[in-house]
Amino acid sequence: MPRRKPDTPVPAGHDVPLPAGPETPVYCQARDYAPDHVIPLHRHPDRHQLVYAASGVFVVRAGAGRWVVPSTRAIWMPMGIAHQVSCIGAVQMRSVYILPEAIADAPATASAVSVTPLLAALLQAASTVQAPYARESRDGRLMQLILDELSTLPALPLHLPEPDDPRLRAIERYWDKRPDDGMSLQDWAARLGVDARTVQRLCARELGMTFGRWRQQTRLLRALEQLAVGGKVIDVALSLGYESPSAFTAMFKRRFGQTPTEFFR
């Protein structure tokens, strides 16, 4: 996982105490959630967390952004960062909690990571381990292997930053209702009563991306939500304003290096 500058810890939300003590540096909890269940804003003050869905898809909100996470991906959540989790459909969640001293150079920002078949199998096995356990036991070596695997995983472009500027928030709210909107940058600038260059500067300052990339990322995450619950590529593509399924698939492959079918396999 890449090393980045730390997020500013968010004071909102309540602290969630965890049962395992310092003698258990890594442990896993397994919980199943009904469709549309929401885990309220909270944070873990003394452990990092890896949040993974063995099945289903969930949306994580933390700070000024959100991530859509299907069952082939997971979210790395540093300790102290307040976050909310919303389930889309039924979710079988596996959460790994890690003491900061147990993993060197841990990322200081929330990020989405790929879940390899090996890591998925390790997480499934870890969900049955009872804490505390001996570090040199089979269970201890299993947990260490999870840490080793995490250190090799790349971050993925599943994050959508949320703007503070009221003009960009107006665009965001409109896209939320009309993800197939085809208005151009110039159209939006005229609608907002500003120059197109002003909109681009706002996007660069608030989102770190161009207007076009912002719209593409918005559509991409909406597509992930629909595909993860069984939506067909052709229906998803048309609902998001793409001219054809092939145009949508080409965009998806440029961003992820895989087609939608390969991504969710």
Please tell me the predicted confidence (pLDDT) of residue 112: 84
Please tell me the predicted confidence (pLDDT) of residue 9: 39
Q: Which residues on neighbouring strands pair with residue 59, listed in sequence order?
A: 68, 86
**Domains of the chain (ranges, CATH numbers):** 14-156 (2.60.120.810), 163-264 (1.10.10.60)
Q: Which residues contact 40 (CB under 8 A, 6 or more apart)?
A: 13, 14, 84
User: Could you state, in chain order, the average pLDDT of each consecutive group of 10 residues for the chain (265 residues)?
Assistant: 40 54 82 92 91 88 82 88 90 92 83 87 91 88 91 74 91 90 92 94 92 90 81 90 90 83 76
Model-level pTM? 0.71
Please tell me the predicted confidence (pLDDT) of residue 21: 61
Please tell me the predicted confidence (pLDDT) of residue 20: 57
Q: Which residues on neighbouring strands pair with residue 60, listed in sequence order?
A: 67, 85
Neighbours of 261 (CB within 10 A): 11
Please tell me the predicted confidence (pLDDT) of residue 7: 38
Quick: pLDDT tens for 31-78: 999 988 999 999 998 899 999 988 888 889 887 688 888 877 899 999
